[in-house]
Structure 1
């Protein structure tokens, strides 16, 4: 890769029923069984397009996180730690 920088892209799609209340898009999450087809440079376009579906809600978990997640300078595992929403909503 002389003279080229490595790049990446996140493909997004409409959300599943778990993510929809939080955001209007979600990343494509491939099943392990789909990886070979996804990485095959001569794979049929129709096959690849069939992989671009929302992940099953049962395969995901969702919880509230702090606002630091939205800051590009923030980094660290604590960004994934669940927070208690009760104090921010005025509940004791």
Structure 2
């Protein structure tokens, strides 16, 4: 369902989209922050003043994406994470 709402939000003008993302997903997006035509679905998003995420960026499987003031993620990035918790995938890497 989260993917469906994200897809629908891409059709909205930015001001309405920001309000929708804050209300629907609980994201914290400063009024001067901006997200382009991007697929951004962390569990928690915090965008401080004058931050931006460019077009054609994908950010998924992240617990937290926090952009401090004046930070920018350019266009065309693929950002993904590995879920925390018990997993045998990285069992041999004790410092991870």
The TM tier, using the shorter chain, reads under 0.3
Q: Which has the larger radius of gyration?
A: 1
Task: Decide which structure has greater strand share.
Answer: 2
Structure with more helix by fraction? 1
TM-score normalised over the length of structure 1: 0.23
TM-score, normalization by structure 2:
0.22
